[in-house]
Amino acid sequence: MNLDLRGSTPDQIRGYLESLGGTVRPDGTVAGPDWTATLEAGEHRAFGAVWPRVVVTFSGDPQSVARVVSGLRLRAMRGGG
């Protein structure tokens, strides 16, 4: 499963994943009970602005992944105006 998060940096996403029970590995992936997340940093360009973008690829037990994805979506939510 992939999750495309715009407006957050890889360090922020790693912190959110740690708060959900993950541990950052030396290779930059984050692993938790029955799940692993790989982060790919990038940029999102819109309306003449550039924002950070992180694509998170999850693998592992489907129920564990679903729980972590749900928690990560809540933590990474950005309000608009």
Our CA angle for 17, 66, 40, nearest 5°, is 45
Q: Which residue from 57, 4, 12 is spatially nearest to 35, judged by alpha carbons?
A: 57
Whose tokens are 């998170």? That residue is 56
Write down the pLDDT at residue 39. 97
Domains and CATH numbers, the chain: 2-76 (3.30.1370.80)
User: What residues in the chain have per-residue pLDDT under 70?
Assistant: 79-81
Write down the pLDDT at residue 79. 62
Write down the pLDDT at residue 51. 87
- State the DSSP H helix or E strand holding residue 18, giving kind and residue range, or none if neither: helix 10-19
- Distance CA(4)–CA(17), nearest Å, equals 14
Write down the pLDDT at residue 80. 56
pTM (2 d.p.): 0.89
Decide: helix, strand or coil at residue 31: strand
φ and ψ of 52, to 5 deg = -65, 150
